[in-house]
Structure 1
């Protein structure tokens, strides 16, 4: 890479950026520096692998945790159709595969909880505006027959 070059530019013919090399080599400090300069964490090389694929293939838990904290997409597939979790498992890095599986489960659970909360909020807003509940009339609650 030349001095003053773009952070996301591929450094060689196969599309490996310095960040790809850092993640693949388990160089967490250099990867952190690259992340701080604004590198695209989901940039793919010619094999369709992102930084998280490279870190999973090398078994670097430090690089994986940096990438997860930087909002890397952990469910992206490379050109062979493998996720980072599958690569870690096939390379024998069980702790990395478990970590990625746990993160994915947590993200999925959080996403489902967010969508449930959104629906609940919409229902509550509808009730407040008098659109969902028939006991509300012109923004005010009707009195029940017991209080008339």
Structure 2
């Protein structure tokens, strides 16, 4: 595979198209696919095209880095956005044990690091349902807790309005 001159997106595309590079094939010793090169160069348009043609989002190169690592090292928020929206794994670690977020922090791309941190937080929140303990000492999800509490409420009693409670307290005096 050709090492690319990252001066313009059109140059990147033409080099890869001329060489007839397949989507997930790497022809160099560094095992970098066209998606790696596009992400490293910050070429969001070309990366999007690669993603739409079936590029492996989590393919790792000789450093153990996937396209998301390359985009984080380049500080390309646009490429990171495409990769995250296409369900690239943000938890992949390179051979040094670093995630894309770690690399963004290390290279000083704070906006990229904060974006990845927020995505990780949201994904973790969705993956782990929050459970609560109620009086039967059973773990239940919050949505079922409301139904459980409502079913224990006596049906014959009505809630009193604040004006009714004032009149009751004045009658007792």
Which TM-score band (shorter chain)?
0.7 to 0.9
| Residue 25 (structure 1) shift | 0.4
Structure-1 separation of matches of 2:75 and 2:27: 23
Mapped contact 1:56–1:87 kept (Cα < 8 A): yes
Structure 1 residue 6, shift from structure 2 partner: 3.0
Q: Please, which of 97, 104, 116 is the counterpart of residue 100 of structure 1?
A: 116
**1:37 is matched with which residue: 38, 53, 66?**
53
Alignment TM-score, normalising by the size of structure 1: 0.74
State the shift of 1:29 in Å.
Answer: 0.2
The equivalent of 2:97 in structure 1 is 81
Q: 2:32 aligns with which of 16, 30, 44?
A: 16
Deviation at 1:7, TM superposition (A): 1.2
Q: Does the Cα contact within 8 Å between 1:43 and 1:51 map onto a contact in 2? A: yes
- Partners of 1:11 and 1:102 lie apart in 2 by 35
Matched, 1:63 2:79: yes
Q: Partners of 2:106 and 2:48 in 1: how far apart?
A: 26
Moved over 6 A (4+): none
Calculate the TM-score normalised by the size of structure 2.
0.64
- Which structure is higher in RCO with an 8 Å CA cutoff and minimum separation 6? 1
Q: How many residues align?
A: 118
- 1:7-39 Cα distance to aligned partner (Å, 9 max, x none): 111132100111101000000000000000000
1:6 aligned to which of 16, 22, 30: 22
Instruction: Extract unaligned runs of 5+ from structure 1.
Output: 125-148
Indicate the RMSD between aligned Cα atoms, in angstroms.
1.8
Greater Cα radius of gyration, structure 1 or 2: 2
Deviations 1:85-136 (A, max 9, x none): 00000000000000000000000001113x86xx969xx8xxxxxxxxxxxx
